[in-house]
Amino acid sequence: MGLLDKLSVWLGRGRAEVTVLVLGLDNSGKSTLLHALRPADARAPAPHHAAPTVGQQQEHFTSGGVSFSAWDVSGAPRHRALWERHYRRAHAVIFVVDSADHLRLVVAREELELLLAHPDMFGRRVPLLVFANKHDAPHALAPMQVAAALGLERITDKPWHICASCALSGAGLADGVAWLARQIRDAHLPHPHT
Amino acid sequence: MSNMTRWLDVEVGTDDIDLNTLPQNLALLDLHNDNEFKLLIGDFGRGEDGPKLKVFKGAMQISDTVLPDLPLGVVGFYISETVPRSVPIVAVAYSSCVYMYRNLKLFYKYYLPSIELSMCEMEVWKQLTNPINHNSDAIKPLIDSLKAIPHETLTQQSQDILTLTPEQRLEYLENNAELPNKNNAEIVCINTLKMHSVDKYSVSCLVIATEDGDVILLEPQTFSQLCQAKICGVKKTPYQMITTGLYSVDYRITIATREKSVCVLKRDWPEGRILFNTDDHIIAIEVITADSSVMVICADHSMACYSKKGKKQWCLTLEHRPVAMTLVPVLHLGVTLTGVALASGHVHLYDGKARRDTVFVRDVVSVMKFGQLGQEEHVLIIITGAGNLMLKILKRTADFSAHAAGVEMSPSALTGQKPWLIPKKSKLFLEQSVRERENAALMHKTFQHELNRLRLLAATTLLEAHKKSDNSVGIGPMESMRLTAEVEGLGPVFRVTLIIENKSKDKAVIGLSILFHVHTVNYKVSNPYIKVPLLSPGGKLKFPTKIEEVFDDNISPDVLFRPVTGQGGERSLIKVLLLKEGKKTPVLAATVQMPPTDPMMLPFDKMQAIAGIEEKEDPNWTNKA
C-alpha cells in the first residue's frame, strides 16, 4: 500500500458521500432525528411537531470524517413498500424505533425482518444502526429490551449496534453515528499495516 | 403461503388484566386527540370489584374510572366540528340513563323520558287507594274503567291488578294502597350515527334502544330528543343495533332482537319493520356497509347473509358454536372480511362465504373487535373468556385473495349450494311445451317437409345459375379459380380492377380471357376483352379497366339524387365473364354493382341541360352561364 494510494483514498473519500438509509415506522422520529444531525448552522429551529414525510427527503451530515447522504423515507404503511427501492445503493441503514410504542414493536420487527431478508440486503455487510428513540418518554423500553424485541441477536451477516436516543434533544445521536462512521471507515479504508 | 400467519401477536402482560365485558362495551377512540387510538372497555368487574371504565393505550392500561352501575354500552363520538378538533365524548349507558364523559370527567346525564300515566288511570287509582272504596261493589266499576283503557298503556301495577280475582284485588289494595310509580324505560343498547358526513371525526348523534322497543336519537349539542320510533309493530326487544348511513341524508338502523328476528328502521319511519326471522336465537349481527347486507350468526351453528331487502343469500353451517363476530375491513386490499369466533377457540375470517384465514387463540373468545389502536390501523382485539386481552396486528404484506388463502372450492360445494339464475316459467312457455309434447310427430313431419323444400329450392337455384352461367364459383377442374373486382373512383369514369387468382397448389391455367358484358347505353368499357396470360399455381393477376358511365342527352334529374336514394337499380349492373378457350360456357361470372356517379362530377353540359329543365323561369341564370 503506497503513499499514492493512501493519498487518492484520502482525496476521494473526502468528497464521496456514503449513502445511508433512514428507515422506521411512521411517527418513530426519523425526520426529527435527521434534523438534529444536521450541522448547527444549517439547522432551522426544530419544529415541535414534524409533519409526516411523504415519499422521501435527502439530508447531508458528516461524522467522524465520513460524509453521509441520508435518505429519509416515509414510514407510513402504504409507503413502506417503497423502502426496497433504496436498498441497492445503501451503504448503511439507520433503523429508528419508537421505544415507547410497545404495541408496534412487533410491526417494527416484522419490517426489519423483511428488510434483512430482501435480496438486495441479504448477505451484504451493511452496518445496521438501531436507534431506540424517544427514550425519555414515559414507559420507554431500555435499548436492550428493544434489541430483544426486534430479535437483533439473530443477525449474523451484518454488524449492528443499538443505542438509546432522543431526537428532540439530540441525546445519544452522536454516539450512534460515530459508531456508524467507524464501521464505514473500517469497511472502506484499508487497514494500515502494522 | 397458507401456513404463514398473517397476524403479528402483541405481547400483553396478562397478570393484572382481568376483563369481564360484552361486545357493546368496547370502543376504540382517539381519546386524547393525539392520533393515538385508545381502547375503552366498560368492565363489569369480578367478585367484589365494581364496574369500571378501563382505558388501554396499546396493551397497557393507563386509566381506571369507577362506574356507578353496570355499563350497558360504551361509545365515543364527537359533538362539534371545531378546528382544532375537540376531544371526543364518551357515552356510557346504564339502566335508564346515559352518562356523558369528556376527558373522562362526567359532564352530562341523560335520562330516558319517563312514561307519564294517563289521567284516567291516575284518577281510578286515586279512588282505588281510598279506603272507603275497599269493598267489592265499589271496586267493580273502577276495575271496569281500568279495562277500558288500552292494555299497553297501563302501568305494570294496573296490569297486575287486572289479572287478579276480585278477592285477591281487595287483599292487594288493603296491603299496598299506593299510587302506581312512574315507569322508567330500560336501555338495552346504544350506538352512534353520523350526522352530516362520513368523516372519521364528524359529528354523531346518540342512538338509544330501550327494552320496550323504542329507538331514540339524541341531538349531539343539546342531548334533546331528535326523533323516536318503534322498532317494530309487534313487541320486540332489541338486543344489538347497528347504524349505517347519515342522519341528514339517509340512514338504516338494523336491530337484532331477542325474538329471533332482525328489524330495520329507516329515516322518517315512525315504525320499523321486520327484515327477516331466523330459526334460532341470534348471537350477533353485522352490517356490511358496501351493500347493507346483514350477516347473522345464530345459536344453531349457522352463519347466514341476508340482502338489504331481507332475502337470504347464503347460509353456512359452522363446525362449532359461534360466540362473537366482527367486521374486518381491510381498505388497502379492498375487502371487508367477517371474523367469526367459535367456541372451539378458532377465529375464522370469511370473505363472503369463502373462508380466507383461521386464527387459533387457545381460549374461548368472549369479545372481538377490529379497528385502529394506537397508530396501527389493523388491530384485532380479542378478550377471552378467562379475561385476557389479546392483540393481533394484521401484517402489511397480508393478502386475503383466494389464491393466497389456499382455498380450494370443491366443485360439489360450488354447484350444490349456489342457486342458478333461472327465470320463472311463463304461461306462454308452459303452453308451448304442452303443445310440443302433444304434437311431436306432426311437428317433426312438418319440419322435415320444410327442410326438403328448402334443399330443393337451393338445388334448383344452383342449377339455374349454371344454366345462365351466373356462377361466381367455378366447377370441375376450374374450381380453384377466383374472380374478384374492385371499383374505384367518383365517376363518371371508374377504374374497375379485376383480380384473378389461381388457388390451386400444383396446376397452372392457360387460355383464359375476360369479357365485360355491359349495356352500351349505360356504360362504355375501354377494354372489354382481356386475354389472360398463363396463371401459375398460387398466382394472382390484376387487370385495371376504365369504365365510363354514359349519359344520354335527355338526362333524368334522378341521377342527382342517386347517392341519396341508393343505387341506380338494374342499369348499374356490370357482368364480368371469365372464359376458357375451347369451352362454350363461361367458367365464372361476377356481377359488379357500379356506384352512382357523384353529381358534382357530371359533365358540365349535361348539368346545364338538367338545370335548364329545372330553372326555366330564371332566364338570368342561363344568360350568365
Quick: pLDDT tens for B515-547: 888 887 888 888 888 888 888 888 888 989 998
What 3-state DSSP class applies to B462? helix
Asked whether residue A14 carries a pLDDT value surpassing 60, the answer given is no
All residues of chain A having their beta carbon less than 8 Å from the beta carbon of residue B373 are 103
All residues of chain B having their beta carbon less than 8 Å from the beta carbon of residue A139 are 60
| Closest by CA position to B369, among listed B410, B411, B330, B326 | B326
Q: What is the pLDDT of residue B490?
A: 82
CB pairs under 8 A between A and B: 47
Other Cβ atoms closer than 10 A to B196: 13
Q: What are phi and psi of A126, to 5 degrees?
A: -100, 120
Q: What is the pLDDT of residue B212?
A: 83
Other Cβ atoms closer than 10 A to B478: 18
* Among the partner residues B9, B376, B395, nearest to A104 by beta-carbon distance: B376
Contact A80 B59 (CB under 8 A): no
Q: How far is residue B178 from each of residues B225, B420, B449, measured CA to CA in Å? A: 32, 66, 99
Contact B396 A77 (CB under 8 A): yes
All residues of chain A having their beta carbon less than 8 Å from the beta carbon of residue B10 are 102-103, 106
Q: What are phi and psi of B135, to 5 degrees?
A: -140, 155
Which H or E run contains B355?
Answer: strand B354-360
Q: How far is residue B136 from each of residues B124, B148, B159, B178, B313, measured CA to CA in Å? A: 15, 19, 18, 18, 60
Residue range B6-21, pLDDT digits in tens: 898 887 766 678 888 9
Q: What is the pLDDT of residue A194?
A: 39
Q: How far is residue A161 from each of residues A59, A166, A172, B16, measured CA to CA in Å? A: 22, 16, 12, 34
Residue B481, Cβ density class (10 Å: 0-12 exposed, 13-18 middle, ≥19 buried): buried
Give Cβ neighbours of residue B246 (< 8 Å, ≥ 6 apart).
B193, B194, B195, B196, B197, B198
| Closest by CA position to B14, among listed B49, B58, B59 | B59
Q: How far is residue B282 from each of residues B192, B285, B319, B582, measured CA to CA in Å? A: 22, 8, 17, 95
* Among the partner residues A77, A101, A107, nearest to B8 by beta-carbon distance: A107
Contact B59 A102 (CB under 8 A): yes
Using CB atoms and an 8 Å cut-off, which of residues 21-50 of chain A contact chain B? Answer: 25-27
Give Cβ neighbours of residue B422 (< 8 Å, ≥ 6 apart).
none
**Could you tell me which residue, B490 or A111, shows the higher pLDDT?**
A111
Using CB atoms and an 8 Å cut-off, which of residues 377-406 of chain B contact chain A? Answer: 377, 379, 391, 393, 395-397
Residue range A156-178, pLDDT digits in tens: 889 999 999 998 888 888 889 89
| Closest by CA position to B283, among listed B237, B325, B244 | B325
Nearest-Cα residue of chain A relative to residue B35:
A27
How near does any CA of chain A get to the CA of B30, in Å? 16
All residues of chain B having their beta carbon less than 8 Å from the beta carbon of residue A104 are 58, 374-376, 393
Give Cβ neighbours of residue B442 (< 8 Å, ≥ 6 apart).
none
Tell me what the mean pLDDT of segment B118-129 comes to.
Answer: 76
Residue of B17, B376, B389 to mutate for A, most A C-beta atoms under 10 A:
B376
Asked whether residue A28 carries a pLDDT value surpassing 70, the answer given is yes
Residue range A33-71, pLDDT digits in tens: 888 887 766 666 656 667 888 878 888 888 777 888 888
Tell me what the mean pLDDT of segment B396-425 comes to.
Answer: 64
Residue of B32, B396, B399 to mutate for A, most A C-beta atoms under 10 A:
B396
Tell me what the mean pLDDT of segment B488-492 comes to.
Answer: 82
Contact A77 B9 (CB under 8 A): no
Quickly list H helices, B325-439: 411-417, 427-438
Judge whether A107 is closer than 8 Å to chain B, CB to CB.
Answer: yes
Contact B264, B275 (CB under 8 A): yes
**CA-CA-CA-CA dihedral for A13, A14, A16, A18, to nearest 10:** 80
CA distance B218 to B427: 54
Contact B396 A80 (CB under 8 A): yes
* Among the partner residues A25, A101, A110, nearest to B395 by beta-carbon distance: A110
**Pick from A48-57, B386-395, B424-433: least confident:** A48-57
How near does any CA of chain A get to the CA of B84, in Å? 15
Residue of A97, A103, A141 to mutate for B, most B C-beta atoms under 10 A:
A103
Residue range B201-256, pLDDT digits in tens: 889 999 999 988 889 999 988 888 888 898 888 888 898 999 999 999 999 999 99
Quickly list H helices, chain A: 3-15, 30-37, 84-87, 105-117, 143-150, 173-188
How near does any CA of chain B get to the CA of A40, in Å? 30
Q: What is the pLDDT of residue B624?
A: 43
Give Cβ neighbours of residue B226 (< 8 Å, ≥ 6 apart).
B205, B217, B218, B219, B247
How near does any CA of chain B get to the CA of A19, in Å? 26
Mean pLDDT of all residues belonging to chain B:
83
**Could you tell me which residue, B572 or B386, shows the higher pLDDT?**
B386
How near does any CA of chain A get to the CA of B391, in Å? 9
Nearest-Cα residue of chain B relative to residue A109:
B8
CA distance B35 to B300: 41
Q: What is the DSSP letter of A179?
A: H
Nearest-Cα residue of chain B relative to residue A104:
B376
Contact B373 A106 (CB under 8 A): no
All residues of chain A having their beta carbon less than 8 Å from the beta carbon of residue B11 are 106
Contact B376 A78 (CB under 8 A): no
**Could you tell me which residue, B473 or B324, shows the higher pLDDT?**
B324
How near does any CA of chain B get to the CA of A27, in Å? 9
Q: What are phi and psi of B30, to 5 degrees?
A: -80, 75
Verify cis geometry, omega within 30 degrees of 0, for the bond prior to B563.
no
Verify cis geometry, omega within 30 degrees of 0, for the bond prior to B492.
yes
Strand bridging mode B187-194 / B365-373: unpaired
Contact B393 A107 (CB under 8 A): yes
End-to-end Cα spacing for chain B = 89
